[in-house]
Amino acid sequence: SSTRVYIMMHYSVSAKAYGKIIFHCAKYPHRAVNGVLIGTISKKDNSVQVQDCVPLFHAKLDLTPMLEVALTQVEIYAISKGLSIVGYYHAKPQLDDSSLTDTIKSIGSKISQNSDVSCVLMVDNRKILTSHNELAVKMFINQEQTNQWKEQRNISLMGGDPVMSLLIKAVENGIFQKLIDFDNHLDCVDADWTNPSINKFIEELKEQ
Amino acid sequence: MASFEEVGEGLVPKFTDWMSARDTLRDIREEGLRKSHKVAVLGKQLVEKYASKLGDEVWVVHEQVIPSALDIGDHHTAEACYKALHHKFPGSTRVKRLEGLLLEAKEEYDDALALYTDILEKEPTNLLIAKRRVTIQKARGETVAAITELIKILEIYMTDIESWNELADLYISEHSYEKAAFCLEELILANPHNYLNHQRYAEVCYSQGTVDSLNASRKHFSTALKLNPGSLRSLYGLHQTVLHLSTNPKLKGKREEKVKNEDILSWTSSQLQHKYQDIPRCSKIVEQYLKTGK
């Protein structure tokens, strides 16, 4: 049998992607929330850039019909931006629980079927807004040989700690209320799940 | 560029005057909404500075502030409100329940459970307290225990809608779709005109993935749409269901089914296009979405 050496890829997460994950959690603090990560893969540098994310649901996360609709549409959107789906994020309502459930694993696996890479970011609820220099997410990678999801620490925030502080300040000023997820869109077709105004706001933050 | 404060204008609750604060809290109470940040910020000012203006309403406001303050992590205000209520109504079970909430918020679950067990011994039919036990189990991630507890509650309170809904959610999180479906059937029986019940039931049936369950899903998404033609979720649900049915190898041979499914699919497709016609960015994505799977 051939041996495949597993090379650890480095994941860097943009302010836009990380910010929207935090905003999604802040908007629905008592619920599970999830979403899709989109970005670019650089095989040459062995790295993945999580450029953006699309917040999906804050209710009925374990049911499939709307998830299928959302994944199809997010993929179409990603391709239109020259990006691909690179992972999935999930925040559980229980404060100390960031373990992977079967549903999370199967969504993660489904995403990696159509993509060369896939990671699952589980939100560490205790760290959101309390840590100014540590990402409040745990990254899990599906290793092909073992088909196990293992935690990996090879992840960083583009722009580092200053970006983190700005995002926390944004939450304190209530800006997370403007975040739109796919559930919001299903309730009101005008609600835009690509979040152009929040994206612009975060882009301008970095320029300050 | 705009400052944080400018962009966040109106998004962070601010106290302006006691009368509008009182009215806002009344509206929220009436509608049973969970607007914890707003209630905590406005309510805190009311109870601390304008208690005398509120008359008898002051106690209901104290009671309302406690879970909201706990929700946003303001334990100090919650404790103060509880102390005032406890002083005014020393023997009250209603107030004792709030003491339980304080313990739960501090994650002192064993103490909270002891308190609730105590109350239930004296008042075995206290539904609100029985439900707190379920919430603690949920908070601890003890889903199976929470399910068992809820079933016990439903054996006594067979018509409690909130419990059936909660039980359905718990079963869904455990992937026990058949059991979740049973709960939702009870909800449909109790209120057949509520489109949400049919929609949710259809989503659960869809998730089961068998031909029979997909047929049930088609039926109930259709019912939900009839009851609420504006439901985008039901429209997508019906579209997805029929898409799966029409590509299912078992049904491909049956001509009748094929024709029916094709009819429905062309209807849902045109409905979806119509919904998005005024939203150009979305309509491009939806056009492509409608082309997939065929």
* Nearest-CA distance A59 → chain B (Å): 10
- Judge whether A206 is closer than 8 Å to chain B, CB to CB: no
Q: Which residues of A touch B8 (CB under 8 A)?
A: 170, 173-175
Inter-CA distances, B269 with A186, A201, B180, B223, Å: 16, 35, 30, 18
Minimal-distance CA residue of chain A relative to B209: A64
SS3 B6: helix
Q: Which residues of B touch A170 (CB under 8 A)?
A: 4, 8
**Cβ contact (<8 Å) for B11 and A173?**
yes
Q: In the prediction, which pLDDT does A8 show?
A: 79
Q: Which residues of A touch B108 (CB under 8 A)?
A: none
Token pair of B250, please? 């078992």
- Judge whether A5 is closer than 8 Å to chain B, CB to CB: no
**Cβ contact (<8 Å) for B285 and A77?**
yes
The H or E element spanning position B100 is helix B93-105
Chain center to CA of A118: 11
Residue with tokens 């209520």: B85
Look at residue B272 and tell me whether its pLDDT is greater than 90: yes
Token pair of B72, please? 């946003």
Q: Which residues of B touch A60 (CB under 8 A)?
A: 172, 200, 203
d(CA A13, CA A86): 11
Look at residue A2 and tell me whether its pLDDT is greater than 50: no
Instruction: Give the number of residues written for chain A.
Output: 208
Q: In the prediction, which pLDDT does B57 show?
A: 93
What is the pLDDT averaged over residues A159-180?
89
Inter-CA distances, B48 with A31, A56, B58, B253, Å: 31, 40, 11, 73
Instruction: Give the number of residues written for chain B.
Output: 294
Q: Maximum distance among all alpha carbons in chain A?
A: 57
Look at residue B93 and tell me whether its pLDDT is greater than 70: yes
**Cβ contact (<8 Å) for A76 and B241?**
no
What is the pLDDT averaged over residues B218-225?
97
* B292 compared with B251, residue with greater pLDDT: B292
User: pLDDT, tens digit, for every residue of B23-39?
Assistant: 999 999 999 988 899 99
Give me the residue from B71, B204, B289 closest to A73, CB to CB.
B289
- A109-118, B196-205, B240-249: which has the minimum mean pLDDT? A109-118
Burial label for A3, CB within 10 Å (0-12, 13-18, 19+), is exposed
Best interface-test mutation with B: which of A36, A38, A180, A189 has the largest number of B CBs within 10 A? A189
Q: In the prediction, which pLDDT does A7 show?
A: 67
**Cβ contact (<8 Å) for B282 and A170?**
no
**Cβ contact (<8 Å) for A201 and B7?**
yes
- Judge whether A161 is closer than 8 Å to chain B, CB to CB: no
Q: In the prediction, which pLDDT does A208 show?
A: 62
DSSP letter string, chain A:
----PPPPPEEEE-HHHHHHHHHHHHHSTTS-EEEEEEEEEETTTTEEEEEEEEEEESS-TT-SHHHHHHHHHHHHHHHHTT-EEEEEEEE-SSTT--PPPHHHHHHHHHHHHSSS--EEEEE-TTTTTT-SSS-SEEEEEEETTTTEEEEE--EEETTHHHHHHHHHHHHHTTGGGG---HHHHHH-TTS-TT-HHHHHHHHHHHH-
Bridge-based pairing state of the strands A84-91 and A137-143: unpaired
Q: In the prediction, which pLDDT does A114 show?
A: 73
Q: How many other CB atoms are found less than 10 A from the CB of residue B101?
A: 17
- Judge whether A106 is closer than 8 Å to chain B, CB to CB: no
Burial label for B83, CB within 10 Å (0-12, 13-18, 19+), is exposed
Bridge-based pairing state of the strands A137-143 and A148-152: antiparallel
- Inter-helix orientation angle B57-71/B93-105, to 10°: 20
What is the pLDDT averaged over residues A166-177?
90
**Cβ contact (<8 Å) for B241 and A65?**
yes
- Judge whether A76 is closer than 8 Å to chain B, CB to CB: yes
**Cβ contact (<8 Å) for B172 and A62?**
yes
First to last CA, chain A: 54
Q: Which residues of B touch A175 (CB under 8 A)?
A: 4, 7-8, 11
- Inter-helix orientation angle A160-172/A196-207, to 10°: 130
Q: Over the range A25-64, which residues count as b (16 or more CB within 10 Å of their CB) and which as e?
A: bbbbbeebbbbbbbbebeeeeeebbbbbbbbbbbebbbbb
Minimal-distance CA residue of chain A relative to B217: A65
- Judge whether A192 is closer than 8 Å to chain B, CB to CB: yes
- Judge whether A126 is closer than 8 Å to chain B, CB to CB: no
First to last CA, chain B: 47
Token pair of B35, please? 């607007």
Whether residue A126 contacts residue A119, with contact meaning beta carbons closer than 8 Å, is answered with: no
Inter-CA distances, B288 with B74, B268, B269, Å: 48, 15, 11
User: pLDDT, tens digit, for every residue of A58-83?
Assistant: 987 779 999 999 999 999 999 999 99
Q: Is the dihedral of CA A195, A196, A201, A206 positive or negative?
A: positive
**Cβ contact (<8 Å) for B240 and A177?**
no
What is the pLDDT averaged over residues A24-38?
94
Token pair of B8, please? 């966040």
- A90-94, A111-115, B78-82, B186-190: which has the minimum mean pLDDT? A111-115
Burial label for B212, CB within 10 Å (0-12, 13-18, 19+), is exposed
What is the pLDDT averaged over residues B157-165?
94
d(CA A125, CA B52): 40
- Judge whether A73 is closer than 8 Å to chain B, CB to CB: yes
* Nearest-CA distance A10 → chain B (Å): 31
Minimal-distance CA residue of chain B relative to A193: B282
Give me the residue from A65, A102, A172 closest to B203, CB to CB.
A65
Give me the residue from A76, A103, A172 closest to B289, CB to CB.
A76
Whether residue B24 contacts residue B38, with contact meaning beta carbons closer than 8 Å, is answered with: yes
Look at residue A129 and tell me whether its pLDDT is greater than 80: no
Taking all residues of chain B, what is their mean pLDDT, rounded to a whole number?
92
Minimal-distance CA residue of chain B relative to A68: B240
Look at residue A150 and tell me whether its pLDDT is greater than 50: yes
d(CA B119, CA B54): 30
Bridge-based pairing state of the strands A47-57 and A155-157: unpaired
Give me the residue from B138, B203, B288 closest to A60, CB to CB.
B203
Tell me which DSSP letter residue B220 carries.
Answer: H
Token pair of A207, please? 């320029």
